[in-house]
């Protein structure tokens, strides 16, 4: 079972078993979890006519609607629910939680339901955002900070660990697997997460994880991002990675409002391998092959457009009307990908990313300190190279040659500071 299918199954089961008009109530995190696997039109097909956030201040009574809640079992959400159940706005309340609830939380909700409007309380383990069938995110902001315990207060670090463990346990509950857990021994944060996940899976909630054993047990491998500092500093050249790096993706949505040539109906577009066949087959293609595939897609669409222009009979007209929705869909898809690839090409040219990337690869893979120093110094002097690319180049040089050539590294740091004022305070 893949992650997107597991989440879609959960949402479908929540909605289709409850007949009649519904309102779907989410929190700030489950709204992302649902949006990546269900579109608004699909929700409408399930008779969901309104979507609200649980912290909404609306007090309008809508007793004709049945409320379907999908929330993380946090103390804040429980308090919102307690108040809303005590003064019900909807005819029925169906409560679904994305992870394991505490007994005390269930008791609080039961005590608040004096009017007996709650019809069911269930745990559906969808406490993760499935961005494609095999990858998920927890959308935790600035998560790299938590790998440096010295700069984070203990309570914040514990909240981070709890959220990571919640996400991991939900994934394996959704997949109906109990993994063997291995972690990087040299990393305190990896060890902490592994031990807490193990405690839930093998001690506290062992009954929930009592799944039929498979021939080969799945492996949960927890590693520290700091163990590979080079890869994040390298510019990427595959389609999905370039869009993420140069334009930005959040919950499979790409914001194109800052791109002047983007059509008005494509200010924000969805880039999902589940909904877009072209993206699915090209998300890991390099930029050169992507350009050829885009041209092929445009040529194919032009052939379809030409055939639609050749309408001579009533039968041709009827065929065109029948095929028009699919034609519009293809037109939007072609326009979306052409717009993004054009923007990626423009950014790569403006920032001289080909030159930058060549030097990055030389620093990461090849020898030659003198040549590397000259190449980095030349790029630091190039006005087209962005501040972030300059910083990356100096960091890559430092990782490779810090001990071998400290004097040259100091020269590069001083050059970087002279070119980018915002980095001055960090250079010693």
What average pLDDT score do residues 392-400 get? 94
* pLDDT confidence band for 424 (50 / 70 / 90): low
pLDDT tens for each residue of 217-230: 899 999 998 889 99
Encode 66-88: b = buried (16+ Cβ within 10 Å), e = exposed.
bbbbbbbbbeebbebbeebbeeb
Average pLDDT, the chain: 89
The total number of residues written for the chain in this structure: 428
Helix boundaries (H) for 366-405: 369-380, 387-401
Could you tell me which residue, 327 or 360, shows the higher pLDDT? 360
Q: For residues 328-345, give the mean pLDDT.
A: 88
pLDDT level of residue 385 (50, 70, 90 thresholds): very high
Tell me, what's the pLDDT at 426? 45
CATH architecture of residue range(s) 3-129? 3-Layer(aba) Sandwich (3.40)
pLDDT surpassing 50 at residue 427: no
pLDDT bracket for residue 200 (50, 70, 90): very high
Q: What is the pLDDT of residues 60-76, one digit of tens each?
A: 999 999 999 999 999 99
pLDDT tens column, 408-420: 999 999 999 988 7
So what's the pLDDT on residue 171?
A: 97
Range with the lowest mean pLDDT among 138-142, 246-250, 293-297? 138-142
Report the greatest alpha carbon distance in the chain. 80
For the domain with range 239-351, which CATH number is right: 3.90.830.10, 2.60.40.420, 3.90.70.10, 3.30.70.260?
3.90.830.10
H or E stretch including 221? Answer: strand 219-222
| CA dist., res. 428 & res. 425, Å (int) | 8
Share of residues in the chain with pLDDT > 90 (%): 70
pLDDT at residue 145, as a whole number: 79
Q: How confident is the model at residue 267 (pLDDT cuts 50, 70, 90)?
A: confident
pLDDT over 80 at 423, yes or no: no
Q: What is the mean pLDDT of residues 354-367?
A: 91
| H-type alpha helices, 21-146 | 30-35, 40-45, 75-86, 103-112
| Residue 309: pLDDT band with limits 50, 70, 90 | low
Per-residue model confidence (pLDDT) at position 333: 87
Range of lowest pLDDT (9-23, 62-76, 201-215): 201-215
pLDDT band (50, 70, 90) for residue 315: low
Structural domain boundaries of the chain?
A: 3-129, 140-227, 239-351, 353-419
Q: Which pLDDT score is estimated for 300?
A: 86
Question: Is the distance from CB of 378 to CB of 389 less than 8 angstroms?
Answer: no
Burial class (CB within 10 angstroms; exposed 0-12, middle 13-18, buried 19+) of 157: middle
Instruction: Give pLDDT, residue 149.
Output: 63
In this prediction, residue 428 has a pLDDT band, given cuts at 50, 70 and 90, of very low
Q: What pLDDT, on a 0 to 100 scale, did the predictor assign at position 124? A: 97
């Amino acid at each position: 079972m893949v992650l997107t299918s597991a989440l879609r199954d959960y949402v479908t089961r929540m909605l289709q078993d409850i007949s009649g008009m519904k309102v779907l109530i989410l929190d700030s995190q489950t709204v992302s979890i649902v949006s990546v696997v269900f579109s608004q039109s699909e929700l409408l097909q399930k008779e969901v006519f309104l979507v609200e956030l649980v912290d909404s201040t609306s007090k309008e009574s809508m007793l004709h609607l049945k409320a379907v809640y999908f929330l993380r079992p946090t103390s804040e959400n429980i308090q919102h629910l307690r108040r809303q159940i005590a003064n019900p706005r909807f005819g029925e309340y169906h409560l679904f939680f994305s992870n394991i609830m505490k007994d005390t939380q269930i008791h609080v909700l039961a005590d608040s339901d004096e009017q007996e409007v709650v019809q069911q309380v269930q745990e559906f383990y969808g406490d993760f955002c499935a961005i494609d069938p095999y990858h998920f995110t927890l959308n935790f902001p600035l998560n790299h900070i938590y790998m440096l315990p010295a700069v984070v207060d203990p309570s914040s670090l514990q909240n981070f660990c709890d959220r990571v463990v919640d996400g991991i346990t939900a994934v394996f509950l959704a997949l109906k697997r109990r993994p063997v857990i291995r972690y990087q021994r040299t990393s305190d944060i990896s060890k902490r997460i592994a031990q807490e996940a193990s405690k839930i899976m093998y001690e506290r909630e062992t009954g929930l994880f009592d799944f039929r054993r498979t021939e080969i047990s799945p492996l949960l491998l927890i590693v520290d991002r700091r163990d590979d500092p080079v890869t994040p500093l390298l510019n990427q050249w595959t389609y999905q990675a370039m869009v993420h790096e140069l334009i930005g993706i959040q919950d499979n949505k790409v914001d194109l409002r800052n791109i002047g040539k983007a059509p008005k109906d494509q200010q924000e577009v969805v880039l999902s391998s589940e909904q877009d066949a072209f993206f699915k087959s090209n998300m890991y293609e390099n930029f050169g092959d992507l350009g050829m595939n885009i041209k092929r897609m445009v040529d194919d669409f032009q052939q379809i457009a030409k055939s639609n222009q050749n309408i001579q009979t009533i039968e041709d007209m009827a065929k065109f009307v029948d095929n028009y929705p699919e034609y519009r869909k293809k037109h939007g898809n072609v326009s979306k990908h052409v717009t993004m690839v054009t923007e990626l090409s423009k950014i790569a040219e403006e920032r001289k990313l080909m030159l930058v990337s060549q030097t990055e690869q030389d620093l990461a893979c090849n020898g030659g300190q003198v040549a590397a120093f000259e190449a980095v110094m030349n790029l630091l002097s190039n006005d087209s190279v962005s501040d972030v690319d300059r910083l990356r180049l100096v960091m890559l040089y430092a990782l490779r040659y810090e001990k071998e050539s400290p004097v040259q590294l100091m020269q590069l740091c001083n050059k970087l500071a002279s070119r980018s004022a915002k980095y001055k305070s960090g250079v010693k």
